[in-house]
Amino acid sequence: MKPKPLISVIMPCFNNSATVKRSVSSVLDQSYDTIEVILVDDGSTDYSREIVFGLRDKDSRLKVITQANQGPGPARNHGLKDARGEFVAFLDADDYWDADCLYKLHAALMDSGADLAYCGWQNTGENTKGGVPFIPPDYAGVEKVELLLGGCRWSIHAALTRMTAVDEVGGFDERWTSCMDYDLWLRMASTRKIVRVPEVLAYYVHHEGEQITKNRLRGAVNHWRIQLEFIRRNRDLVKRIGKKTQGAYLW
Of 207 and 189, more confident: 189
> Cα separation of 235 and 4, whole Å?
40
> Cα separation of 120 and 134, whole Å?
5
Of 235 and 211, more confident: 235
pLDDT tens for each residue of 51-83 = 999 999 999 999 999 999 999 999 999 999 999
Selection from 177, 174, 185, 1 nearest residue 81 by Cα: 174
- Percentage of the chain exceeding pLDDT 90: 81
Domains of the chain: 7-250 (3.90.550.10)
Other beta carbons within 10 Å of 140? 17
What was the pLDDT predicted at 131? 73
Q: Is the pLDDT of residue 158 over 80?
A: yes
> Cα separation of 113 and 123, whole Å?
30
Q: Would you place residue 217 in the very low, low, confident or very high pLDDT band (cuts 50, 70, 90)?
A: confident
Sign, CA torsion 62/68/71/76: negative
Of 143 and 53, more confident: 53
Of 229 and 213, more confident: 229
Q: Mean pLDDT over all residues of the chain?
A: 92
